[in-house]
């Protein structure tokens, strides 16, 4: 490159601009991945810059820029450039290109690749691939450079290399869980606003990427910058229009990736193209990207950020556009050279990456566990929580505990705050509904099992409890009893004073029955003025007789009706005692107690008889 101060300054400024592409890719990829993986994606972009820059300035520059060995491999002493102003500038400039090639891979294999696995991939590309093929093309003694292969700023050297390596990694690591279970539809993005910001940073960086590749500041530099911006703009507009026609919506991803695809495509020929040519190359770049992403979905190859269509497909398209822009020379000869270059770089990048990763994957899984992928790489790889993750964790705990009584608290200024607020409203309404439901169920159970007038059990509850009582006799020795009670003289009171008086009398009798029975006994209104009392686990048969006596004595006591009228009734009781030796059914026990009650009436009423 030139030793002129202005040229060196421009290349240094361009190196800084290219370095800005790294935070651009970080924002682009973090915003386009799911929230649970965004932090992991961002730190991988930071880390690959550390690795790629360190390796290139240490070894890569010696391989790429050093003295050639038959045009296939270069070498010069380590840090050979440190005493030359121009060589030092050129090395720093190319170091930024090396980091760009590596960072392309990050987005393609995002959301399921281990952090250490990605570091391994970055090392492989930085040492074994990028500087070797860059020597072939950008070192004047490289074999592809000698053939006349043209790649001005890296459509193939940088972008296709990243695309080929990403494709090899994708094929080994496999698709994300659930990726192709919804007819090829992708997952939600965490924040496409960050992705849009990232594209702007990348676009600004591309001014240095292409403009700095002139290695001088002159009129051609400005034309290169114009072509770069124009191709990106036209490609973005093409994505805007075509996505609206194709899907009915202005797809953000198509616009963003369209811009990038146009920039990738023009990079091979920005110094040759006219503004009109740049427009067509930008359109070509978008459709190469569009065709690539459709092809990958059809083949069920999961590229999380569509990096392969953007950088590989658009890079190939841009490289193949070069022969059409050469004013002098054999078109077909140049096309053949371009195809040879694309194939050579593709074979080196893809095969090297695939073989090395395949071997490594046999001994060390490149992919995170299924649990880690579901949980998200932010937590499983870095223990980096987010408000959304904390919210999901709290919601899951409530679901597991089935306890929604407490509100979920999150940072009121986080993205999860609104969701947490609505979720708390839902759980509050659910709790209220549940309480009302429980009250309604309890009321329904009570109505089904208890008499609304007297508060005593209904016949169905009596039968159920009697069945359980009989079942217990098979497991333990005890004695039970049934008292079948019918009021004597109730009908005259009901007929003479009305149903309200009769109802009042029944409630009073029910209260008296409960006053002489235990809490463990069950008193029921069997129907009309008939009552049945189940005495469970009585000490002796004498106890049942005592209860019968108490019932007759307390029931015959006068009752003061609401009309201030005094009345009295008696009770006839049939007593049936049964224990484990009894093999009678529920109906038999009740029928025998009923017959004993009628026997008590026949004997003169107001007494009890044992069945």
Residue 529 annotated to the active site: yes
- Catalytic residue of the set 7, 254, 302, 529: 529
**Could you tell me the maximum CA-CA distance found in the chain, to the nearest angstrom?**
135
Residue showing tokens 């030359």 = 84
- List all residues 6 or more positions away from 358 whose beta carbon is below 8 Å from its beta carbon: 172
β pairing state of 67-69 and 73-75: antiparallel
- List all residues 6 or more positions away from 318 whose beta carbon is below 8 Å from its beta carbon: 155, 264, 265, 266, 267, 268, 269, 281, 284, 285, 288
Nearest C-alpha neighbor of 350 from the set 169, 200, 224: 169
* Helix, strand, coil percentages for the chain (3-state, nearest 5): 65, 10, 25
Q: How many helices (H) and strands (E) does the chain have?
A: 25, 9
> How many other β-carbons are positioned within 10 Å of the β-carbon of residue 276?
9
**Residue 428 vs residues 394, 411, 425, 435, 499: alpha-carbon distances, Å:** 15, 20, 5, 11, 46
- List all residues 6 or more positions away from 147 whose beta carbon is below 8 Å from its beta carbon: 337, 340, 341
Exposure string (b/e) for 541-579, b if CB count within 10 Å is 16 or more? eeebeebbeebbeebeeebebeeeeebebbbbbbbbbbe
Residue 20 in tokens = 């800005």
Catalytic residue annotation: 529
């Amino acid at each position: 490159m030139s030793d002129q101060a202005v040229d060196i300054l421009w290349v240094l400024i361009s190196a800084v601009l290219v370095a800005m592409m790294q935070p651009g890719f970080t924002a682009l990829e973090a915003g386009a991945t799911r929230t649970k993986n965004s932090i992991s994606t961002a730190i991988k972009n930071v880390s690959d810059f550390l690795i790629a820059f360190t390796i290139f300035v240490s070894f890569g520059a010696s391989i790429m820029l050093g003295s050639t060995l038959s045009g296939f491999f270069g070498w010069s002493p380590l840090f050979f450039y440190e005493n030359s102003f121009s060589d030092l500038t050129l090395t720093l400039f190319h170091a930024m290109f090396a980091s760009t090639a590596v960072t392309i891979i990050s987005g393609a294999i995002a959301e399921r690749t281990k952090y250490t696995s990605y570091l391994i991939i970055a090392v492989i590309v930085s040492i074994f691939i990028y500087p070797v093929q860059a020597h072939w093309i950008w070192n004047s003694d490289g074999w592809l450079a000698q053939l006349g292969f043209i790649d001005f700023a890296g459509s193939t050297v940088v972008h296709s290399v990243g695309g080929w390596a990403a494709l090899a990694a994708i094929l080994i690591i496999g698709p994300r869980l659930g990726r192709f279970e919804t007819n090829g539809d992708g997952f939600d993005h965490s924040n496409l606003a960050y992705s849009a910001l990232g594209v702007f940073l990348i676009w600004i960086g591309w001014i240095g990427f292409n403009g700095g590749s002139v290695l001088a500041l002159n009129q051609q530099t400005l034309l290169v910058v114009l072509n770069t911006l124009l191709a990106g703009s036209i490609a973005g507009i093409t994505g805007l229009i075509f996505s609206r026609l194709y899907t009915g919506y202005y797809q953000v991803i198509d616009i963003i990736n369209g811009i990038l695809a146009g920039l990738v495509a023009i990079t091979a020929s920005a110094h040759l193209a006219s503004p009109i040519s740049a427009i067509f190359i930008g359109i070509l770049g978008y459709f190469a990207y569009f065709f690539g992403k459709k092809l990958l979905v059809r083949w069920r190859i999961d590229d999380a950020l569509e990096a392969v269509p953007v950088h590989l497909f658009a890079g190939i398209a841009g490289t193949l556009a070069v022969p059409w822009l050469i004013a002098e020379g054999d078109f077909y000869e140049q096309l053949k050279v371009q195809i040879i270059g694309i194939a050579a770089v593709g074979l080196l990048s893809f095969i090297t990456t695939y073989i090395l990763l395949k071997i490594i994957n046999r001994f060390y899984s490149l992919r995170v566990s299924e649990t880690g992928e579901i949980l998200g790489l932010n937590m499983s790889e870095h223990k980096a929580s987010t408000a959304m993750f904390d919210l999901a964790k709290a919601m899951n705990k409530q679901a597991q505990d089935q306890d929604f009584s407490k509100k979920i608290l999150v940072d009121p200024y986080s993205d999860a705050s609104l969701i947490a607020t609505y979720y708390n409203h839902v759980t509050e309404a659910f709790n209220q509904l549940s309480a009302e439901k429980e009250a309604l169920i309890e009321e329904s159970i009570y109505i089904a099992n208890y008499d609304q007038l007297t508060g005593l059990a209904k016949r169905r509850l009596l039968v159920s409890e009697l069945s359980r009582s009989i079942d217990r006799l098979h497991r333990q020795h005890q004695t039970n009893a049934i008292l079948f009670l019918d009021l004597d003289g109730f009908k005259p009171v009901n007929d003479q004073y009305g149903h309200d008086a009769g109802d009042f009398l029944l409630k009073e009798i029910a209260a008296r029955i409960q006053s002489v029975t235990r809490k463990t006994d069950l008193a029921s209104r069997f129907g009309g003025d008939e009552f049945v009392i189940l005495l469970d686990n009585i000490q002796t048969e004498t106890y049942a007789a005592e209860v019968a006596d108490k019932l007759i004595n307390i029931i015959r006591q006068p009752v003061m009706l609401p009309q201030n009228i005094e009345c009295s009734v008696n009770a006839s009781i049939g007593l049936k005692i049964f224990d484990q030796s009894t093999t009678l059914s529920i109906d038999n026990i009740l029928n025998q107690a009923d017959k004993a009650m009628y026997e008590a009436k026949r004997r003169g009423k107001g007494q009890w008889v044992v069945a």
